[in-house]
């Protein structure tokens, strides 16, 4: 049983399209994240949700809209995709009251915008 | 905001030898946690080792150990008896005890030569 699962693993799409990436965790965690890993492998936090509430929103274009229907799910919707959005997007989860614990990562979604 | 710096984009080590990966961070907080993650070509994010800032003793996990210098804000990773399977990207990460976000360095690509 996968602890943090993301779908799809690969996403190839045209510029201007709208796409969504889904994430689910079965660890009972209350906090979920989206990270973006660019072509140089730099991992940058995008969003963090705690119990469905947005707590971190880094400088991300408003074409990116996260949605957390419940604390086990955090989806990422991207409007009007651009070439620069091509990257690997990682979902992760943790417990808010346990900062010493690791983040559990999904296997990533490789987004290619053509 | 906290920043994490990994000054070595690439490192190389001979199999069975020892290598040290550098990491420095900038923070005004006194309570935080530090992590090293490994990312092999599979993209999976694997926790290697973690260190609590309030602990003076350096963490050790089998062949992996850290040199934590709190005053210098330095957190290096030593890999002893390097194995071919250690080849990967290595990320240093900082996590505040106050909030949930984990900030990563730019990563070091480690090559292990047979």
Give A27-38 pLDDT, tens digit per residue.
999 999 999 999
Chain B residue at shortest CA distance from A95: B100
State the nearest Cα–Cα gap between A35 and chain B, in angstroms: 10
State the nearest Cα–Cα gap between B22 and chain A, in angstroms: 16
Q: What's the confidence (pLDDT) of residue B10?
A: 97
- Mark which residues 7-36 of B lie under 8 Å from A by CB: 32-33, 35
Residue A7 contacts residue A108 (beta carbons within 8 Å):
no
Residue A71 contacts residue A29 (beta carbons within 8 Å):
yes
Name the band, by pLDDT with cuts 50, 70 and 90, for residue B1. Answer: low
Highest CATH level, class, for A4-113? mainly beta
- Mark which residues 48-77 of B lie under 8 Å from A by CB: 50, 52
A57 near B CB under 8 A: no
Helix and strand numbers, DSSP H then E, in chain B: 0, 12
Name the band, by pLDDT with cuts 50, 70 and 90, for residue B107. Answer: very high
Residue B22 has pLDDT above 70, yes or no: yes
Q: Which region among A5-9, A46-50, A77-81 has the lowest average model confidence (pLDDT)?
A: A46-50
Residue A54 contacts residue A67 (beta carbons within 8 Å):
no
- DSSP designation for A67: E
Instruction: Classify strands B32-39 and B24-26 as parallel, antiparallel or unpaired.
Output: unpaired
A15 Cβ contact partners less than 8 Å away, ≥ 6 residues apart: A81, A82, A83, A113, A114
Domain that holds residue B65: 3-113
Q: What's the confidence (pLDDT) of residue B2?
A: 74
- pLDDT 10s digits, B24-58: 999 998 889 999 999 999 999 999 999 999 998 99
Q: What's the confidence (pLDDT) of residue A52?
A: 81
Residue B82 has pLDDT above 80, yes or no: yes
- DSSP designation for A101: S
Which of A2, A100, A105 should be substituted to probe chain B, the one whose Cβ sees the most B Cβ atoms within 10 Å? A100
**Tokens coding A35:** 């990270």
**Tokens coding A93:** 């989860």
Q: Count of alpha carbons within 13 Å of B62, Cβ hemisphere only? A: 5
Number of domains making up chain B: 1
| CB-CB under 8 Å, B89 with A94 | no
| Closest residue to A88, CB basis, from B43, B99, B104 | B43
Beta bridge partners of A57: A47
Q: What's the confidence (pLDDT) of residue A19?
A: 97
B5 near A CB under 8 A: no
CATH code for the domain of B10 = 2.60.40.10
Please state, in angstroms and rounded to a whole number, the distance separating the CA atoms of residues B75 and B86.
19
Q: Which region among A14-23, A27-36, A92-101 has the lowest average model confidence (pLDDT)?
A: A92-101
Question: For chain A, what are the domain ranges?
Answer: 4-113
Name the band, by pLDDT with cuts 50, 70 and 90, for residue A99. Answer: confident
Residue A56 has pLDDT above 80, yes or no: no
**Tokens coding B84:** 């071919």
């Amino acid at each position: 049983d996968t602890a943090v699962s993301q779908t799809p693993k690969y996403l190839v799409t045209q510029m201007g399209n709208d796409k969504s990436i889904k994430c689910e965790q079965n660890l009972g965690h209350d906090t979920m994240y989206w990270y973006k890993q660019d072509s140089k492998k730099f991992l940058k936090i995008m969003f963090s949700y705690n119990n469905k509430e947005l707590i971190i929103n880094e400088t991300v274009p408003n074409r990116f809209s996260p949605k957390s229907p419940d604390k086990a799910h955090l989806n990422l919707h991207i409007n009007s995709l651009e070439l620069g959005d091509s990257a690997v997007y990682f979902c992760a989860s943790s417990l808010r009251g346990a900062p010493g614990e690791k983040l559990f990562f999904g296997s990533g979604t490789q987004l290619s915008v053509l | 905001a906290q920043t994490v710096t990994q000054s070595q984009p690439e490192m190389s080590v001979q199999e069975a030898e020892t290598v040290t990966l550098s990491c420095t961070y900038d923070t005004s907080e006194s309570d935080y946690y530090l992590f090293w993650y490994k990312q092999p070509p599979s993209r999976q994010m694997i926790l290697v080792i973690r260190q609590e800032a309030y602990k003076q003793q350096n963490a050790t996990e089998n062949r992996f150990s850290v040199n934590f210098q709190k005053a210098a804000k330095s957190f290096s990773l030593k890999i002893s008896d390097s194995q071919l399977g250690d080849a990967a990207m290595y990320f240093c990460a900082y996590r505040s005890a106050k909030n949930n976000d984990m900030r990563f360095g730019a990563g070091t690509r480690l090559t292990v030569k047979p």
